[in-house]
Amino acid sequence: MKTTNPVLSRFGRTAVRERGAGYAAGAGYQQPAYGQGYPPAGYPEPSGYPNGAFPTSPVSTRTMTIDDVVVKTATLLGLLAASAAAAWVLIPDALLGAAWIGAAVVGLVLGLIISFSRMANPALVVAYSVVEGVFVGMVSKFFTSVAGYDGIVLQAVVATFGVFFAMVLLYKARVVRATPRFTRILIAVMGGLFAAMLINFVLALFGVDTGLRSGGPVAVGFSLICIVVAALSFVLNFAEIEEGVRAGLPERYSWMAAFGILVGLVWLYLEVLRLLSYFQGDD
């Protein structure tokens, strides 16, 4: 049966095979059709197995559940919030720019490694959450302490989680679904948005203002589009989690699912924060 999204290839096909691969002894052995009690009477007993019995089932591995993903996501968000608060307090304004850029680069590298890795790595996911916390903390401190937009961080946090839980309800009610067409279009749009951001960043280094981040009508429209797309990306995350549970992926892959949600939340928060700054800048 074909899936509606690339969850199995994203997590790695080896993850799916893990639930049925390996034995307590004789790794790589193909279980005979006879099952327990093999070999038939009159044949010599195989060595290396207790009581001469072949294993009849693979080593059990606990599979991921929705609760696992919820717990892992809450854990990552807690780490992100703690590192953001620590960075806000400990890093002085004079080093704000350097910490911002450094955390952004390290977070990007870790995110790419996690995304393209074929195996779940909880340590890398945790490290990504901590580094992203520093990045989010520095961005938030800039808008509050440097730009002087009081209360904007709390507003952005409330709006971000409001959008997230709204998407949870819409997905649960099957108002929005990750159909193949929806998935293809959304991934294409996300790729286009990230390409536009990259081009805008490069041009900004040469003093070219495209208007995408200048606070004008074009910037407001671009941020609104990014917010809508970031919100819709959760639909893909939810569908991937459902399919991962259905496929019986090992429990540690819940870290990958939580990582996907965390990336979406950070992107949504940054876009909401930027959009709110445009309106506060007009006061």
CA distance linking residue 9 with residue 60, whole number of Å = 23
102-111 contacts: CB < 8 A, separation 24 or more?
103/131, 103/132, 103/134, 103/135, 103/138, 104/135, 106/131, 107/131, 107/132, 107/135, 111/263
The residue assigned the tokens 């951001």 is 197
Assess whether 246 and 193 both reside in one domain.
yes
Query: Measured between alpha carbons, how far is 107 from 130 in angstroms, rounded to an integer?
Result: 9
**Same domain assignment for residues 49 and 104:** no
38 and 84 both lie in a single domain: no
pLDDT grade, residue 145 (50/70/90)?
confident
Question: Residue 175, exposed/middle/buried by CB under 10 A (0-12, 13-18, 19+)?
Answer: exposed
Beta bridge partners of 182: none
pTM metric for this prediction = 0.79
Residues 110, 33: one domain? no
Q: Are residues 114 and 54 in the same domain?
A: no
Provide φ and ψ at 106, rounded to 5°. Answer: -65, -40
Residue 170, pLDDT above cutoff 70: yes
pLDDT digits (tens, 9 = 90+) for 221-242: 999 999 999 999 999 999 999 9
- Both 274 and 176 in one domain: the answer is yes
User: What's the structural domain count of the chain?
Assistant: 2
**Does residue 277 sit in helix, strand or coil?**
helix
Cβ neighbours of 280 (radius 10 Å)? 16
Q: Based on the fold, state whether residues 49 and 75 are members of the same structural domain.
A: no
Amino acid at 271: E
Please tell me what DSSP assigns to residue 145.
I
Residue 132 — φ and ψ, nearest 5°? Answer: -65, -30
For residue 184, being part of any structural domain is answered with yes
Residues 249, 147 share a domain: yes
Any domain includes 1:
no
| Structural Rg of the chain based on CA atoms | 24
Backbone phi, psi, residue 83, to 5°: -70, -35
Least confident interval from 23-32, 145-154, 184-193: 23-32
**pLDDT beyond 80 at 16:** no
Ranges 44-58, 115-129, 248-262, 265-279: which has the least confidence: 44-58
pLDDT at position 26 over 90: no
Segment 79-137, tens digit of pLDDT: 999 999 999 999 988 888 899 999 999 999 999 899 888 677 899 999 999 999 999 99
Find the domain containing 21 and state its range.
Answer: 15-59
User: Considering the domain boundaries, does residue 4 fall inside one?
Assistant: no
